[in-house]
Structure 1
Amino acid sequence: MRKYQIVFLILGSLCIGIAGLAGLSAILSAYIFEDGVAPAFLEAVFVSGFLGGTLILFGQDARPEIDYRGAVALTAGAWIGIPLLAAIPFTASAVGLSWTDALFESYSGITTTGSTVMTGLDETAPSILLWRALLQWIGGIGIIGLSIAILPFLRVGGMQLFQMESSKPTADQVIARPGHLAGIIAALYIGLTALCLFGYAATGMSGFEALTHAMTTVSTGGYSTHDSSMGGFSAGAQWVAIIFMLSGAVPFLAYVRVFSRADGRRGIDEEVSGFLMIVALFTGLLVFAQHGMDSAPMEQLRLALFSTVSIITTTGYAAGDYQLWGPLALSSVFILTFLGGCAGSTSGGFKTFRLQIALKAVRRALNQASMPNAIATEQHAGRTLKDSDVASVVLFGGLYVGTFAVGAVLLAAMGLDFETAITASATALANVGPGLGDIIGPAGHFLTLPDPAKWLLCAVMLMGRLELVVILLLFTPRFWMR
């Protein structure tokens, strides 16, 4: 038990952090917004503070080191437990969500999925709208930390390619990144959020709208303060959203390399360029899908680019209903749902680098078949691809497709129609937000889904955000017996 004391200490500190955010929200609710939700935030303060204090007591005298099993326990504990505490304010009478709906909204927020069960956002208490944005914002920075500090050392789905050379883990120990790297990434994240806020304000958004949307844009979360999402704002605001959604989907280690000359893997630019090529390709397809419509060419381009960027970065904002653009648009959006942004960013999905590795593995196999006596090699992220790297990506791909398929079948068994079932499973796994169809499409919501479906989608959202393997390790007895 002693070796898990550091896990208790960190989890307790996170709970205290949630209590602090809830306390701040209670003050804003009571004295600034005066929207009647302060008691619910105070309840969250009490529960989170008590639990955090208890965990910190268990974590006293913890050694400042954590092994692989501790890293998995910490990751799973944080991402499963924090949303439970964050759901408490959603149960306030002023909001009126059941516990199932509150948990769905909270898990969707923390994982930056953006699927919502809330309607009438234009009349919703401002403190709750801010709380939703805060959840996505802290979820976004948590995702960056997870993908840089833990997943590469757990060798999850090829993430080992992005291990920092300056970090030298022992055989059974995860060594934390240098403190200055964490500080630089936090500063970059805050800086991007501030720039996005100023950009939105310059396009006519109110200060509150600019703040909440800046937090959910950079985190690629997608929660909005309006039922019409970004469709309720100006074309200028949508261009700002495009820029900062892309910014959130770029590896933050690339920013570190550019601005601080910290260690970074060669080849990150290769992933970014591949990601931008995919954006350009699907934007062209969506522009073509609008051919013959009455809208102006520049509007078609803006809506096509916005929709492409929103889906591939897994933000999930809506500016126009792409379901009205025909079968080509629908099939393009469905494919985009799975792709995702870059590794080490706030976006979800399959990730561009895995697609690139799969294509390179195919090319290597074809070259080897063409010239059996030649040595065919491929490189990615500045290093030669090993068979173990390719196998890791292939394994992850199989788990990804399998999880999607099982989720879709179970949702269909719960009574959801075919389109809703397959797109709900896809959008939850990729942490995108909206699906397709009249129920959960860009103009819909998840409120009318049965409660068992919402619980299942919470689990799928969590599995997608934690790259599947982390959750599966929790149920692998052999892993804990090492």
Structure 2
Amino acid sequence: MNYAVIRYILGLVILFEGAFLSLPCMVALIYREARGIPFFAVMLLCFFVGFLLSHKKPQNMQYYAKEGFVAVALSWILLSFFGCLPFVFNGDIPSFTDAMFEMISGFTTTGASILSDVEVLAKCSLFWRSFSHWIGGMGVLVFILAILPMGGGQNLHLMKAESPGPSVGKLVPKVRQTAKILYGIYCFMTLIEIILLMFGGLPLFDSMLLSFGSAGTGGFSILNSGFADYSPYIQYTVTVFMILFGINFNVYYFILIRKFKDAWKFEELKYYLFVIAAAVLCITYNIRDLFPTLESAFRHASFQVGSIITTTGYSSVDFNVWPEFSKVILVMLMFIGACAGSTGGGIKVSRVILMLKTVKKEMYFYIHPRSIRKIKFNQHVVEHEVIRSINIFLITYMMILAFSTLLIALDGFDLITDFTAVAATLNNIGPGLELVGPTSNFGMFSDFSKVVLMFDMLAGRLELFPMLVLISPITWRDTKVFKKIPKYRKNSPGV
């Protein structure tokens, strides 16, 4: 284990968080809020700690997947730790556990909140909550790779550990250039959404915060009513951008270089759009009697489908009172999630497609035992290693889902509340059903259950294994396995 590299990466992350904290400080200055002073104090603390950890660059910058996974997992925990301190110090969220839950929810773009009244928060606190979505959407380490030359050819380990989806590749030969392209697209789309929301009559501050949430597919609202009080134009605009940010960013890269045919060849994109269209039509028909017009039913169905499948978590209506058919569709969308290589969470559409193709191949094999069939995805043959990794991911995913539900059941809430709370946090969605529905929050859970849900949010955002690698005792053992094998003597029995 190269501890020096991990220390150096953590130092850079904390330094960048200190730089990010300057933004809520500026908001506090603009609105003349005294509650912004803790943000300034924590910013200085981040600069101090980050400098201590990163001022000396390691001589050996070589690291492998193990160090990459540990560095990413620790980075997100430290981001959340330092990010929650201003809430504790300025009194907006006095409980450290609650503040940590809120900040992990922000950085992992989950959007699950423990707050019952967000409108009493200071402007600087509201900004920091929503901006954490934007930071976490693409990933802070991807941002660092885009800004700083880390050196070495192992930077892809960091991107693989932090980027959502079954596989991560380079758009161009250099990882740093790939990171720049991704963040360039990300910033451009965010800016376009801000401008369009301002055209709809929203102030700059509100437009920025709502765009941060939909860009990072987060979901922290700045009003207690969520999106219910916004105009249809605002709701439609956010719906479109939520869906756009749930698309693989490689598609936008091909559009950028004018390879439109290559962009449309992404099989995942077609299934993603088909699932959205089918879900919107089914739910619109099912809830048509709950709204005065068919247009309003279609608008709210589109908003909620876009919000849930992209794991954004915004809500324009209390879908907890919808018919069971519509709620089951939304729960299914929770697990499907967005596209790989997007800012969305969930299992990912690509994994679902490959699972279905694997089942089809197995059924065909039962009928024709001597046949040889290859699974193809995006017009390329899928290697067995990819299928194996997806199967392992799903087994691990189901184990965490089941065990987490069992643990939080100790609080004594109903099964739907517990199950959808874990599903909403593990898939980085935000709201669930019943007591954790869109009009409720996660504040009623015990501190123990909140810790479990915090782990689920981090595991879901980092594709499970970085968090599992972090807590595994094997990771921290430098002793080789062969050293534990006893040496047999010549006179040993049985030799």
TM-score (norm 1): 0.91
Question: d(CA) in 1 for partners of 2:8 and 2:299?
Answer: 48
Matched AA of 2:216:
S
Aligned to 1:170: none
Please report how far the alpha carbon of residue 178 of structure 1 lies from its aligned counterpart in structure 2 after TM superposition. Answer: 3.3
What is the aligned partner in structure 2 of residue 183 from structure 1? 180
C-alpha separation in 2, matches of 1:256 and 1:212: 25
Q: Distance in 2 between matches of 1:144 and 1:303?
A: 35
Distance 2:361 2:162 in 1: 22
Change over 3 Å in CA distance of 1:11–1:380 after alignment to 2: same
The 5 A counterparts of 1:208-287 are 208-260=205-257, 269-287=266-284
- Would the aligned equivalents of 1:245 and 1:315 in 2 still touch at CA under 8 Å? yes
Structure 1 residue 18: Cα displacement: 1.3
Residue 386 (structure 1) aligns with: 383
- CA distance 1:159–1:400, shift in 2 (3 Å): same
Gaps of 5+ in 1: 168-176
The offset of 1:52, in angstroms, is 0.5
From 152, 163, 166, the equivalent of 1:159 is 166
Aligned to 1:174: none
Instruction: State how far apart, in whole Å, the 2-side matches of 1:52 and 1:69 are.
Output: 22
Contact between 1:254 and 1:268, CA under 8 Å: does it hold in 2? Answer: no
**Alignment equivalent of 1:356, drawn from 347, 353, 378:** 353
Distance 1:108 1:73 in 2: 20
What's the secondary structure of 1:37's corresponding residue? helix
Ranges of 4+ aligned residues in structure 1 off by more than 6 Å: 154-158, 264-268
Q: Is the 8 A contact 1:158 1:389 kept in 2?
A: no
Give, in angstroms, the shift of residue 229 of structure 1: 1.2
Give the distance between the partners of 1:278 and 1:143, measured in 2 at CA. Answer: 30
Moved more, 106-115 or 122-131: 122-131
Q: Distance in 2 between matches of 1:227 and 1:383?
A: 47
Q: Choose the corresponding residue for 1:67, options 61, 64, 68.
A: 64
- Tell me what 1:33 maps to: 31
Match of 1:120 in 2: 117
Please tell me whether the aligned partners of residues 9 and 62 of structure 1 are also in contact (alpha carbons under 8 angstroms): no
In the alignment, structure 1 residue 460 sits paired with structure 2 residue 456: yes
1:414 deviates by: 2.3
Task: Find the aligned partners of 2:350 and 2:236 in 1 and give their Cα distance.
Answer: 26
CA contact (8 A) 1:428 1:457 kept: yes
Alpha-carbon distance, 1:302 to partner: 0.8
1:473 partnered with 2:480: no
Deviations 1:231-280 (A, max 9, x none): 12111001111111011111112212221369x99886110111111111
TM-superposed deviation, 1:294: 4.2
TM (normalized to structure 2)?
A: 0.88
Equivalent-residue separation in structure 2 for 1:38 and 1:299 (angstroms): 40
Q: Does 1:443 align with 2:434?
A: no
Structure-2 residue corresponding to 1:51: 49
**C-alpha separation in 2, matches of 1:249 and 1:386:** 25
Give the Cα separation in 2 of the matches to 1:266 and 1:202: 30
CA apart distance, 1:93: 3.7
The residue type paired with residue 21 of structure 2 is A
- Structure 1 position 201, deviation (Å): 0.8
Higher Rg:
2
CA RMSD of aligned residues (A): 2.6
* Superposed displacement of residue 85, structure 1: 0.5
1:32-78, Cα deviation, whole Å (9 max, x unpaired): 11222122112311321221111113x42444443222211211111
- Equivalent-residue separation in structure 1 for 2:54 and 2:158 (angstroms): 25
d(CA) in 2 for partners of 1:40 and 1:157?
Answer: 33
Per-residue deviation, residues 78-107 of structure 1 (Å, max 9, x unmatched):
111111000011113441431011000000
Contact 1:250 1:341 in 2 (8 A): yes
The residue correspondences of 1:398-417 to structure 2 (distance < 5 A) are 398-417=395-414
Structure 1 residues 156 and 134, CA gap change in structure 2 (3 angstroms): closer
Kindly tell me: are residues 268 and 52 of structure 1, through their superposed partners in 2, closer, same or farther at Cα, counting changes over 3 Å? farther
Residue 11 (structure 1) aligns with: 10
Distance change in 2, residues 1:442/1:237 (3 Å): same
Is the CA contact (8 Å cut-off) linking 2:27 and 2:123 kept in structure 1?
Answer: no
Q: What SS does structure 2 have at the residue aligned with 1:467?
A: coil
2:493 paired residue number: none
Indicate the residue corresponding to 1:318 in structure 2: 315
Task: Answer yes or no: is the 8 Å Cα contact 1:6–1:62 preserved in 2.
Answer: no
